[in-house]
Amino acid sequence: MAEEDKPESGFVKEIRKQSVDFPGWYNDVVRKAQLADNSPVAGTMIIRPYGYALWENIRDPLDGLIKETGHENWYFPALIPLGFLQKERDHVAGFAPEFQLVTKGGGKDLEEPLVLRPTSETMIATVLRDYIQSYRDLPVLTNQWNNVFRWELRTRFFLRTREFLWQEGHTFHETAVEAEEEVAKMLECYRRIAEEWCAIPVLAGRKSDSEKFAGAQYSTSIEGMMMDGKALQMGTSHYFGENFTRAYDLTFTGRSNEQQYPHSTSWGMSTRMVGAVVMAHGDDSGLQLPPRIAPLQVIIVPIFRSDAERSQIQTALQPVLADLEDLRVKVDWRDERPGFKFNEWELKGVPLRIELGPRDLAKGEATVVRRLNRAKQAVPLGELAVAIPAMLEEIQEALVKRARDFRDAHTVKLDSLEAMVSFFDSSIGFVITPWCGAEEDERTVSQRTTATTRVILAGSSGKGRPCAVCGRLAAVEVVWGKAY
């Protein structure tokens, strides 16, 4: 991690206030909630079990959606010959500063340096020349779950590290129409994961040409607003046309017996989503996790003072645990004060806490506390099997509504550069403006505000209005924001 983010001791003692130091708050929460920690290798991180479980609960439903749309999981090598990337100049221009090279093997200099995989377009296009011969072999719909390496200069847990986990899909199609349908289909999968599982509302659309992926004809993304008003790019889907297949001489025999180049796409979502969940929902007490992806959905804290009371609670919990067996539930029997446990599980963002002590048992009920707002509710023990799943769904819906309301309250429509400068000087959030699409406008806005274009809104009403930046005729509406 960046030097200023490293604490003097090996653990975080306190959580900084979100409103005072958002980056510091973020790092404190990630470490103290045991999502991740610094690695002995600069710029990389150790993902701890709680953080990895959170990633698995995002990864697994996404893997399901990918397979439902007809894709198969492959695995390709992490070491890529440098010459593969040099065949595609745009690709090299986009990634050369981030290369991590292997120049020695077995104690000897390699004849050709190997690149630690920054992404796999070049490897896959080269390999699939042996598998794609005819239009009958298309489409080829690949996906792989792997680690990638990029030499990020300023790193931050989950958001930017020199090694991270993701999935990358690469597909090859007979026609441009099929490929572009694929791009849109996979972006919709990402939207669903963000909104339906992670409870983060997103804006989806095309990136500007200056913001597109190296080598792509165009890129699309989903963008979420974090609690500090900044944008986070949470998933991308790219249309390459014939760029990579031409560069790697990947051809097929078409229906008219002529040689053609397949149209290709790529798309990816990474462990950055874990960081998105932290920043979109957390508060000064730590994480607030959407129930569908929370490693623990329910924590049960028994409250007792004697072995006899403990035994009574254990007996009472047996049917409760049986009723909740389809949920991710844990009973915290540790020899710690209840208040300590309450604070720790709030820090870790567990959606529901069940408190059960002798007084509760005497009434035949348990006290259920929502992490969302700390609201307490007495629920008869026999009704927990119905009440708890319903509460979890309510919390899931409440989180996405709260995040959407926050985004809407911090999004404005403006029609001049000076208004944009004033907004970003004094406020947080997104600005939507008419835009002509000129790259120099992006440079102007970035120089004046540090904001960049996030997505071009589909079907927007900017066409025919004056561009907010330069006054020329606008073609689209675009979202501007400061971003991670």
The pLDDT of residue 91: 58
Instruction: Examine residue 274 and state whether it is found in any structural domain, yes or no.
Output: yes
Domain count, the chain: 3
286: in domain: no
Question: What mean pLDDT do residues 75-103 have?
Answer: 81
Question: Does 314 reside within a domain?
Answer: yes
Say what the pLDDT of residue 50 is: 98
Pairing of strands 72-73, 140-149: parallel
402 and 426 fall within a common domain: no
Question: Sign of the CA dihedral 355, 356, 357, 362?
Answer: positive
Q: Is the pLDDT of residue 106 over 70?
A: yes
What number of CA atoms fall less than 13 Å from residue 59's CA on the CB side?
19
Provide the percentage of residues in the chain whose pLDDT is more than 90: 89
Q: Name the average pLDDT for the chain.
A: 94
- Are residue 141 and residue 241 in the same domain, yes or no? yes
Looking at the domain assignment, is residue 290 inside a domain?
no
pLDDT of residue 38 exceeding 90: yes
Cα distance between the two ends of the chain: 15
CATH number of the domain within which 433 lies: 3.30.110.30
Task: Quick: pLDDT tens for 421-433.
Answer: 999 999 999 999 9
Region 154-166 average pLDDT: 96
CA distance 19 to 25: 9
* 41 compared with 13, residue with greater pLDDT: 41
Q: Read off the amino acid at residue 398.
A: A
> What is the distance between the alpha carbons of residues 455 and 204, in angstroms, rounded to a whole number?
7
Q: Between the CA of residue 296 and those of 33, 94, 111, 218, 326, what are the distances in Å? A: 13, 40, 50, 39, 12
- C-alpha torsion sign, points 270, 273, 279, 280: positive
- The answer as to whether 317 is a domain residue is yes
Map tokens 């209005």 to a residue. 465
pLDDT of residue 281: 98
- State residue 392's pLDDT score: 98
Q: What is the predicted pLDDT for the residue at 3?
A: 39
Domain boundary among 392, 407, 422: 407
86 and 193 housed in the same domain: yes
pLDDT of residue 6: 46
Q: What is the pLDDT of residues 386-405, one digit of tens each?
A: 999 999 999 999 999 999 99
pLDDT tops 60 at residue 258 = yes
What CATH number does the domain containing 213 carry?
Answer: 3.30.930.10
The verdict on 351 and 214 lying in the same domain is: no
Q: Which pLDDT score, from 0 to 100, does residue 459 have?
A: 79
Within this chain, do residues 267 and 176 fall inside the same structural domain, yes or no?
A: yes
Q: Is the pLDDT of residue 90 over 70?
A: no
Same domain, 185 and 325: no
Show contacts of 80-84: CB within 8 Å, 24+ apart. Answer: 80/114, 80/115, 80/116, 80/117, 80/120, 80/122, 80/123, 81/112, 81/113, 81/114, 81/115, 82/112, 82/113, 82/114, 82/115, 83/112, 84/115, 84/122, 84/123, 84/126, 84/248
Do 251 and 372 share a domain, yes or no?
no
Identify the pLDDT of residue 148. 96
Alpha-carbon distances, residue 83 vs 86, 92, 103, 228 (angstroms): 5, 10, 13, 42
Q: Provide the pLDDT for residue 69.
A: 97
Confidence band of 87 (pLDDT split at 50, 70, 90): confident
Any domain includes 244: yes
- pLDDT, mean of residues 325-333: 98
Whether residues 35 and 181 fall in one domain: yes
Within 10 angstroms of residue 343's Cβ, the number of other Cβ atoms is 13
Q: How many CA atoms lie within 13 A of 323 on its CB side?
A: 15
Q: What is the pLDDT of residue 215?
A: 85
For residue 292, being part of any structural domain is answered with no
Q: What is the mean pLDDT of residues 299-324?
A: 97
As a whole number, mean pLDDT of residues 86-113 equals 81
User: In terms of domains, do 164 and 185 share one?
Assistant: yes
Helix (H) or strand (E) holding 455: strand 452-457
266 with 330, same domain: the answer is no
With 60 as the cut, is the pLDDT of residue 465 above it? yes
Section 213-225 average pLDDT: 95
List, as one string, the DSSP characters of 3-26.
GGG--SSSS--SPPPTTT-HHHHH
State whether 417 and 395 are in the same domain: no
* Domain end residue (candidates: 281, 309, 325): 281
Candidate from 227-236, 239-248, 360-369 with smallest mean pLDDT: 239-248
Position 163 in a domain: yes
- What gap in Å lies between CA 378 and CA 368, rounded to an integer? 6
- Is residue 433 within 8 Å of residue 449, measured between CB atoms? no
Do residues 140 and 227 both lie within one domain? yes
- List helix spans (H) across 268-323: 272-281, 307-323
- Residue 335's alpha-carbon distances to 305, 355, 413, in angstroms, are 11, 15, 55
- Alpha-carbon distance of 307 to 313, in angstroms, equals 10
Domain final position from 375, 407, 439: 407
Q: How confident is the model over 164-178, as pLDDT tens digits? A: 999 999 999 999 999
The pLDDT-based confidence of 351 (bands split at 50, 70, 90) is: very high
Number of H helices, E strands in the chain: 14, 23
Reported confidence tier of residue 93, pLDDT bands at 50, 70, 90: low
DSSP state of 262: P
Residue 97 has pLDDT above 80, yes or no: no
Domain containing 419 equals 411-481
Give the integer Cα–Cα distance in Å for 148 and 100: 10
Between the ranges 9-23, 109-123, 167-181, where is the mean pLDDT highest? 167-181
Question: Given this model, what pLDDT does residue 7 score?
Answer: 40
